[in-house]
Structure 1
Amino acid sequence: MVQYPEAYVRYLIHFHTDRDYFECHEVLEEFWKEHPEDARSELWVGLIQLAVAMYHERRGNCKGAVKMLSSSFNKLIEQGDVSVLGLNPDRLSKLMKQRLQSYENRAEDAVYRDLELPFMDLQLLKTCRERAGEDWNAPSRMNVPELVHKHIMRDRTQVIAARAAEMKKRAERSL
């Protein structure tokens, strides 16, 4: 059986259960930053961008969704091989192309649709389903502002403090 990073499995579970695309981004970005030499680095970035695209689309930011999905498509399909991550590249390519085309024809009041990642590694799918339980492939909860608008509503105290500390260090080094 292929071993996948725990962060990737958590990404997949978030992607298909609570649809917390912001958390998908956070989980995989942390792993990516901690493993800069990973041979799959560009694939991780592509998956991060895919989650961000879904987050933007669900919030009605079609322009942001197109930008992120296009970049994700480039990394995952045109330059990468998602089969090493247990995903079906042909089916993912088709789904992403359809999504991009739907953005072009999208009306302002279009209804958001979840995206299901096409698994090729059935053991990975089984693992994710078992860990997710009955929440697997649950629909997005569009009526939960804390999920849909997470980047605005989250507690940023630690982020602000870390940035202030970093700015202070830079100022001290420049003296």
Structure 2
Amino acid sequence: MTTLVRPATRADLPLVAQLIRDLAAYEKLSHAVRFDEATLGEHLFGPRPMAEVLVAEQDGMGQGFALFFHNFSTFEGKPGIYLEDLYVRPEARGAGLGKALLQALAGLAIARGCARLEWSVLDWNAPSIAFYRSLGARMMDEWRIMRVDSAALQQLGAVSQG
């Protein structure tokens, strides 16, 4: 079995979109998927990409992906990589694709002078938590994610628009 991790191209957009939908179904969040594929493509492969994607292939077939972007640590004074989503199709799990994706991301972080690689994991996802810990990741228990979206985002941003 041949494994390959490579940067996604615009030609991979249908695969990436399907893997995002598959991830949402796995996380029981299919109802939250609202992206338009053309807009997603512009944000990933357009003139000013907002995120990057790595694709994991097994024998030439796309079986997983990692979508990530740069963040910045003011305390470190260096960039970091934030992994937004990592997913490997169930039938391809156990073959090392998840580990290969994380190794590729860690390699990119090192090559780009990043201080760290970070991501979030759902608290009920015990298999993923165990997997991440086996790779040396540690849980940041003292931190909580905050989010402003939908109407609250519109309301908060309305002051700067006026």
Name the TM-score, length of structure 1 as normaliser. 0.28
Structure with higher strand content: 2
Question: Counting helix residues as a fraction of each chain, which structure ranks higher?
Answer: 1
Greater RCO between the two (CA within 8 Å, min separation 6)?
Answer: 1
In the superposition, the TM-score normalised over structure 2's length comes to: 0.29
